[in-house]
Structure 1
Amino acid sequence: METGVSELVERLGSDEDAVRKMAVFKLQGSIGDPSFADIFIAEGGLARLRYLTLHASGNTLAYSLTSFARLLEVDKGWDLVDQEVVERVIELIVTHPLVNILRGAMSILVSIVSHPYTGANLSQDGNFGFRALKPAIAIYPQFLEMLVNRLSSADHALCANALQLINSLMRDSITNELDTEWPKFIQKLQDLGVIRAVYSLMQGTALQDHVHPLVEFQSLTKVLLRKWREISLDLERPEHRRALKGIYLASSQERSQDKGVENSDNVRHSKRHNPEKWRRLGFESENPSMQFEDTGFLGMMDLADYVRNHQDEFLKMLLEQSTKPAQQRCPIARASLSVTLILYQHFEVDKSEMDDAKGYLLLESRSNLDRLFEPLLLHWTRLHVAGLHAFFRLWKATGAEVEDYGKIVELVRILIESVVGGAPRTKDVQEVEEELANFEYGRLRELQMELLELTYEDAWGQHLRQMREELYHEALQFVKEQRVRCLLQGAWFPNEGSHNLEAVNEKYSWRYTQLSHNRRFIHFGDFNAIEEKSPELDALPEKIDLSLVSSVVSNISASSKDHGASTAEDMAHAISYTKITVHGYPQPEPPNGDAQKSNDHGRASSKSAQGESVLLVLRPPSHSVASEWLDGLLMLLNQQPITAETNKLLDLVIIYGLKIRLLNVRFDDVAFAGDAPQVPSRDGLDDNYYYDVFGGS
């Protein structure tokens, strides 16, 4: 291999472009192998690859960029990375039209920006991460705009590479930039139209080609929302103070417009001492910062965006509410924060990226991509405004008062869960906004009642299901013991071949079968008649080791009812149609063994390739005996019972145990929605009462 690599490196430095192009073409297919890369570096190939990256053109340049990118992907060749290389790559992205060159260039930048998270040798000299790109971006300020424009490229691979690079820049900025810097970068990307472009990709038909970068962008959107929420509102920070002040100024703009310049100072002075300066905007107190504990700066951003972009509507709402009694006023600011929290919970923003990644791996298939993406998440601000409008509409339609605030919040939550949660991937955000605005209140109430029933079911159902599961295992052990005791007691079975039972006790032989006391063997023997006293185990000549049993099969129906064999006709019917067959692997016959004797006991060899045989055949005289023995044998083999009679017994034991346990539930243990009901008085009652455990009449 070393000889071949040496020759390849030598050709990379050839004076003929055709030779260099062929060499670097071969290099791009091999450089992704770490062992090959090590030899390539040892042979001095890095310097020649760097030269081609900086000075080549056409396909030679495209192959060089691809080779360079693959070398970095295997965490090698970082000595090549410097500002000259970065500037060259960014220049290509900004100025070069060829797709194959752009792909390689973007892949190189993804590795450089992501290197602090994937590289073994972390650098502090500014050559890696987003900071490595900033000097070159200053020279080519149109870089980010060109990058966002590539998201609409017809070449799916180039589009995916561009989004992957944007993701890397976002993640590095969020992680390593100062709190005053990364929001500016994110805002710049949004101003360039990255949200609109990615939203279009999520609703497009080429999802399979973009799935990984789209999933990462969606996760990064949640990271941003989570990061904004975790930032507590701090009025000592200028940007926080400006945002809150902007909300207040917007609320008082109509007054300053109506007043002359001379009176503006008096207006500001009077508002400064207004006892309801913030409460009239919908805050619960005159300390508005306390209201943002649950939503953080994310809530402030949403409220400020609404006030700034819908200022006329905001002022009109304030004016309308000011004419109403205090208890009937819609708390605008508080409602905005509630809608923020509803959206935050709906999109499960708090779910970690690791949980998302696990879900994505499970769902990643062409048929499940619609469940994978949440394009409406990208239009967070528009959904917030639409949700807030729905809140105002419901408040007015229901004639709500302040004490009904929580009920309106729940209605809005149900509305968003129904409309936003039920929207398919391709549904446009404008359609969602219209549906939120036109959703009928009566239909919403129906949904609320349905969800209320499910809520109560969930509140009790989980505990009941857990209790039933525990009781099932207890009942299963109880029924298993009961069935096994039937086997320990033993039973008589008509021998196979007995069909005419007019005088069954006199003319036909019977088989007595019993489980050994150690529960390891089934003993049986044939008799001419049923004996008054059951035979002792020692009197039974045959036995089956249960460890050799492979299966127990029967033609007993799972829905059979017990018709006890009280008459000869009933018994004939039961014996003719009911059969239990025990299969297994017989022990080797002793040298003097009698094969005919084995056949006499219904153990003829099967045709199974594994040498399975029929070890025992039983024809129970009734369905009750059939249920006891079939399920008893199955449960001895640690298998589930299958007959209707045993399952009915299981259900009976479970229900009995459940009702007994429910009798121990105290009044205080019950969780009520709202006020708890009044405890009935026992005045005039005595102790003459009883519990109807089984609910009978």
Structure 2
Amino acid sequence: MESNVSELVERLGSDEDAVRKMAVFKLQGSIGDPSFADIFIAEGGLARLRYLTLHASGNTLAYSLTSFARLLEVDKGWDIIDQEVIQRVVELIVTHPLVNILRGAMSILVSIVSHPYTGNNLSQGKDFGFPALKPAVAVYPQFLEMLVNRLSSADHALCANALQLINSLMRESIANESDMQWPKFIQKLQDLGVIRAVYSLMQETALQDHMHPLIEFQSLTKVLLRKWRGIPLDLENPEHRRALKGIHLASLHERRSQDICIGTGTGTPNSKKHNPMKWRRLGFETESPIMQFEHTGFLGMMDLADYVRNHQDEFQKMLLEQSGKSGHQCCPIARASLSVTLILYEHFEVDKSEMDDSKSYLLLESRSNLDKLFEPLILHWTRLHIAGLHAFFRLWKATGAESEDYERIVELVRILIESVVGGAVRTKDVQEVEEEMASFEYSRLRGLQMELLELTYEDVWGQHLMQMREELYHEALQFIKEQRIRCLLQGAWFPSETSLNLGLGYEKVSWTYAQLSHNRRYLHFGGFDAIKKGRPELDALPEKIDLSLVSSVVSNVSASNDPLLPNEKDIPPASYTKITIHGHLYPVSTTGDTQKNDGQNGTLSKSAQEVVLLSLHPPSPSVASEWLDGLLMLLNQQPITAKTNKLLNLVSNYGLKIRLLNVRFNDVAFTAEAPPVPPRDDLDNDYYYDVFGGT
């Protein structure tokens, strides 16, 4: 093997380019073996590989760069790394168009930037990490721009190498605690469009080729967010002081201080007097805004400052609109911004360690689970923060919230973000997410809140919640039963059966009026030529049914769509729905036979046959539901129509939600003032209140 390596090293120094090209081509396939690399170095191969890296061109250069990169990957060959080599590699990345050369050059820089900065390296006077690149980048200042541009390359391997190098530069910059220039470096990358480029890669279908560097970039984004949050706000820091001052200045309309809430003082144009509500009027809880950033750190300041800077007109307009409101009605803009920052921070699990991310990656490596692994929306943190803040403002205004309702609005925004952002697929564009958050209806949001609340209590209470549901369902059943029976007590008009026969050629429509007696024992009914004004008196109805004789009530209500009669515009709308009341003409004995007195000899004849006592044709679905279920429930049977069951579930569910929320009267948002309590003058004990009639 040594003789083969010696021969290979000798050919690397050949005067013929073809010989050198073939030798370095073979080298790139073997140099990744550490034992081979040791022999190669011992035979003096490093010097010749370095020479080719600095002076070769074409495929010979490409193979040399690949060999060099693979040698560094096995932690060999660091002795020949110097500024001349680094500058040559940086020059190639900036100026060379060939993809196979760019791949190798970027791989070399990834190893150099990622190489540990050890005491041995320090003693040799060599720099590694990002400092090693600084002299070369000073010569080629367009290096970072070209690197970001490579993220749009059609060559997936080159694109992955470019992102890997960017990741290495970011990680090394963040890890160097002694160098506080990392925020400027990160900002420069963002200004060059790295966020937009990586976001586009995350939404593509060819994720497998970029998987590792994309996951690393996503993890680094969380590292940055954690780092920014971990920086406490400090007025001794010039940058922090400028940011806070910028928020205050942005609140001044035409350089004039505006008094936002009633009782905050009287600011006047060009007044130099200190405003006692300088910070509270912007939505801070106290006049010491630094304390407000305790949980969000500099990240909260960045988010708030970004909103104020990019939406200054909206910011000033909100402050002016609140100028006539009392303090507890003002929307706390600054406080809301910090809450949205925390909601996003918790939603994306930013505090989750990189070790957990790695475990998730190993579990979800299959192609089918990639969508669960990538979170492209976290790259648009600022836009999501603005969308969440706008949602807070919209909900505050729509609900007429006050200071005591603050936490409720925060919880609604949290649910909104969990629903829209958490439910977004990987390929969903951030603009669609913004639009959905802006159009999400409050009623739908409240529905989601109640579902989550029920699930929470379901887990905690279990059997107790089930028992509560059963009790509330029984109460709702009694409530709906009373309501349906009162519909029968009210009475209703039904078109007679002859009016529905379209083949008879009749001239007028006849009607049946039916009404339940006040004692709820008889169903009175009678036929009329036309609907009369007012309800007929029970005495005017010639027929009645003793409900104790009713055996069953059947109908086709559930299957009917209640179509109007075709081609009969002169006939009032009616349906083909039919309610049929079956029963016996005489009481049923305990043996189950019907007892009938023949009226002549005083004996009883036996007949158990059912007959139709009455048929009704409800004119609308509502009447059909009221009368069919009302008759059934009057007979102590379960309701069957969809309308009644929907109403039953609605009442029972609202009862459950009210109990879960423990809503008090003053917690409910009323659009109008409560009506005055009626006087009790001249009122004796003989009175009642009709729950359904309101009298």
Q: Tell me the TM-score normalised to structure 2 length.
A: 0.64
Which residue of structure 1 aligns with residue 468 of structure 2?
Answer: none
Confirm or deny that 1:267 pairs with 2:270: yes
SS of residue matched to 1:267: coil
Q: 2:461 & 2:272 partners in 1: Cα distance? A: 57
Task: Map residues 466-477 of structure 1 onto 2, 5 A cutoff.
Answer: none
Which residue of structure 1 aligns with residue 314 of structure 2?
Answer: 313
Confirm or deny that 1:67 pairs with 2:70: no
Which residue of structure 1 aligns with residue 220 of structure 2?
Answer: 220
Q: 1:186 & 1:116 partners in 2: Cα distance? A: 21
Shift of 1:360: 1.0
CA 237–155 in structure 1, closer or farther in 2 if over 3 Å, else same: same
CA 177–185 in structure 1, closer or farther in 2 if over 3 Å, else same: farther
Q: 1:283 & 1:179 partners in 2: Cα distance? A: 33
Which residue of structure 2 aligns with residue 291 of structure 1?
Answer: 292
Task: Map residues 286-435 of structure 1 onto 2, 5 A cutoff.
Answer: 286-435=287-436
SS of residue matched to 1:403: helix
- 1:310-367 residue CA offsets vs partner (Å, 9 max, x unmatched): 0000000111122211111100000000000000000000000000110011001111
CA contact (8 A) 1:129 1:172 kept: yes
Which residue of structure 2 aligns with residue 22 of structure 1?
Answer: 22
In structure 2, give the amino acid aligned to 1:57: S
Shift of 1:459: 3.6
In structure 2, give the amino acid aligned to 1:134: K
CA contact (8 A) 1:230 1:297 kept: yes
Shift of 1:454: 1.5
**RMSD between aligned alpha carbons?**
2.2
Which residue of structure 2 aligns with residue 622 of structure 1?
Answer: none
Q: 1:22 & 1:420 partners in 2: Cα distance? A: 54
Corresponding residue pairs, total? 461
SS of residue matched to 2:116: helix
Which residue of structure 1 aligns with residue 13 of structure 2?
Answer: 13
In structure 2, give the amino acid aligned to 1:423: A
Confirm or deny that 1:104 pairs with 2:101: no
CA 43–126 in structure 1, closer or farther in 2 if over 3 Å, else same: closer
Confirm or deny that 1:84 pairs with 2:87: no
Shift of 1:177: 5.2
Q: 1:374 & 1:209 partners in 2: Cα distance? A: 17
- 1:583-638 residue CA offsets vs partner (Å, 9 max, x unmatched): xxxxxxxxxxxxxxxxxxxxxxxxxxxxxxxxxxxxxxxxxxxxxxxxxxxxxxxx
CA 50–439 in structure 1, closer or farther in 2 if over 3 Å, else same: same
Shift of 1:673: 7.6
Q: 1:462 & 1:230 partners in 2: Cα distance? A: 44
In structure 2, give the amino acid aligned to 1:174: I
SS of residue matched to 1:227: helix
SS of residue matched to 2:60: helix
CA contact (8 A) 1:115 1:122 kept: no
Which residue of structure 1 aligns with residue 632 of structure 2?
Answer: none
Q: 1:185 & 1:102 partners in 2: Cα distance? A: 23
CA contact (8 A) 1:116 1:123 kept: no
- 1:500-555 residue CA offsets vs partner (Å, 9 max, x unmatched): xxxxxxxxxxxxxxxxxxxxxxxxxxxxxxxxxxxxxxxxxxxxxxxxxxxxxxxx
Runs (4+) off by over 2 Å? 119-127, 177-180, 253-258, 264-268, 457-464, 672-676
Which residue of structure 1 aligns with residue 609 of structure 2?
Answer: none
SS of residue matched to 1:254: coil
Which residue of structure 2 aligns with residue 530 of structure 1?
Answer: none
Q: 1:73 & 1:166 partners in 2: Cα distance? A: 17
Structure (1 or 2) with the greater helix fraction:
1
CA 104–463 in structure 1, closer or farther in 2 if over 3 Å, else same: farther
SS of residue matched to 1:70: helix
Shift of 1:205: 1.2
In structure 1, give the amino acid aligned to 2:199: Y
Q: 2:268 & 2:395 partners in 1: Cα distance? A: 38
CA 37–312 in structure 1, closer or farther in 2 if over 3 Å, else same: same
Which residue of structure 2 aligns with residue 456 of structure 1?
Answer: 457
Which residue of structure 2 aligns with residue 200 of structure 1?
Answer: 200
Q: 2:41 & 2:246 partners in 1: Cα distance? A: 59
Task: Map residues 475-624 of structure 1 onto 2, 5 A cutoff.
Answer: none
Shift of 1:456: 1.7
Identity across matched positions, percent: 84
CA 59–254 in structure 1, closer or farther in 2 if over 3 Å, else same: same
Which residue of structure 2 aligns with residue 142 of structure 1?
Answer: 142
Q: 1:102 & 1:177 partners in 2: Cα distance? A: 31
CA contact (8 A) 2:256 2:268 kept: no
Structure 1: gaps spanning 5 or more residues: 259-263, 465-671, 677-697
Shift of 1:86: 0.4
Which residue of structure 1 aligns with residue 604 of structure 2?
Answer: none
Which residue of structure 2 aligns with residue 667 of structure 1?
Answer: none
- 1:33-53 residue CA offsets vs partner (Å, 9 max, x unmatched): 000000000000000000000
Shift of 1:458: 3.6
Q: 1:205 & 1:337 partners in 2: Cα distance? A: 35
CA contact (8 A) 2:82 2:126 kept: no
Shift of 1:116: 1.3
Task: Map residues 182-261 of structure 1 onto 2, 5 A cutoff.
Answer: 182-256=182-256
In structure 1, give the amino acid aligned to 2:348: F
CA 81–95 in structure 1, closer or farther in 2 if over 3 Å, else same: same
CA contact (8 A) 1:201 1:207 kept: yes
CA contact (8 A) 2:257 2:269 kept: no
CA 4–434 in structure 1, closer or farther in 2 if over 3 Å, else same: same
Structure 2: gaps spanning 5 or more residues: 259-266, 466-659, 665-695
In structure 2, give the amino acid aligned to 1:443: R
SS of residue matched to 1:93: helix
- 1:540-588 residue CA offsets vs partner (Å, 9 max, x unmatched): xxxxxxxxxxxxxxxxxxxxxxxxxxxxxxxxxxxxxxxxxxxxxxxxx
CA 433–253 in structure 1, closer or farther in 2 if over 3 Å, else same: same
Q: 1:37 & 1:123 partners in 2: Cα distance? A: 24
Q: 1:223 & 1:171 partners in 2: Cα distance? A: 9
In structure 1, give the amino acid aligned to 2:163: L
Q: 1:140 & 1:104 partners in 2: Cα distance? A: 19
In structure 2, give the amino acid aligned to 1:139: V
CA 52–179 in structure 1, closer or farther in 2 if over 3 Å, else same: closer
In structure 1, give the amino acid aligned to 2:74: V
Which residue of structure 2 aligns with residue 520 of structure 1?
Answer: none
In structure 2, give the amino acid aligned to 1:217: F
- 1:133-174 residue CA offsets vs partner (Å, 9 max, x unmatched): 011001000000000000000000000000000000000000
Q: Tell me the TM-score normalised to structure 1 length.
A: 0.64
Q: 1:352 & 1:463 partners in 2: Cα distance? A: 38
CA contact (8 A) 1:81 1:127 kept: no
Shift of 1:100: 0.3
